Amino acid sequence: MTVLDTSPEWRNSVRNIMTFKYLSDRELDFLLSVGSVLRYERNETIVREGELDHHFFGVLSGTVSVSVSETGGKDVFICALGEGEVFGEAGFFLKIHRTASVIAKDRAVVFRLERKELASFIRSYPAAGNKILLITIYGLLKKLRAANQELAYERKADLEQDDIDDLVGGILSEMEGS
């Protein structure tokens, strides 16, 4: 990881992150002054599953891969995130361990903001802080909806598999009875 200068040249890249889209230049400059712009090389770990961390991340460039560890140590790919997308939102609200690992798929630059930095921003810019929190909650609800749809799809597939098993079992029983 390399810490990059958080000069106003990053303002437009940070503005491309939906969470910060509706902030003024002055508000974005304040965020840049308290946050960090970090560069990660290919296959470098940004967030490790199980760590206790209060940082929020927005992808400024490159692609990152999100995965979780299965019992037995195998990593299961969840998704890839690119420019303008975010991860680690729960760190704004909860003191929890990371539920996934995030690794740079190629060279990636991210904007990192810690909970205490967000609190400082909200004290200085309460209306803008409310915008950030509302957009963050909206994003989390979208992710929850997608996870629920995936779970429903998997459960539906499980039910269909039971039907197939019953059909095959019935055919095999008939064949044994002949």
pTM score, two decimals?
0.81
In the chain, the largest separation of any two C-alpha atoms, in whole Å, equals 82
Domain boundaries, the chain: 2-177
Residue 65 has pLDDT above 60, yes or no: yes
Query: What whole-number distance in Å separates Cα of residue 14 and Cα of residue 26?
Result: 13
The arithmetic mean of pLDDT across residues 65-78, rounded, is 88
Residue 178 has pLDDT above 70, yes or no: no
Mean pLDDT, the chain, as a whole number? 88
DSSP string for residues in 77-127: EEEEE-TT-EE-THHHH---B-SSEEEESSSEEEEEEEHHHHHHHHHH-HH
pLDDT band at 7 (very low <50, low <70, confident <90, very high): confident
Please state which CATH number belongs to domain 2-177.
Answer: 2.60.120.10
Q: Are strands 64-69 and 101-104 parallel, antiparallel or unpaired?
A: antiparallel
User: What type of residue is 137?
Assistant: I
Cβ count near 21 (within 10 Å): 14
The arithmetic mean of pLDDT across residues 54-62, rounded, is 95
Q: Give the dihedral of Cα atoms 63, 8, 127, 143; nearest 10 deg.
A: 0
Q: What is the pLDDT of residues 83-123, one digit of tens each?
A: 999 999 988 888 889 999 999 999 999 999 999 999 999 99
Do 99 and 42 contact (CB within 8 A), yes or no? Answer: no
Do 14 and 32 contact (CB within 8 A), yes or no? Answer: yes
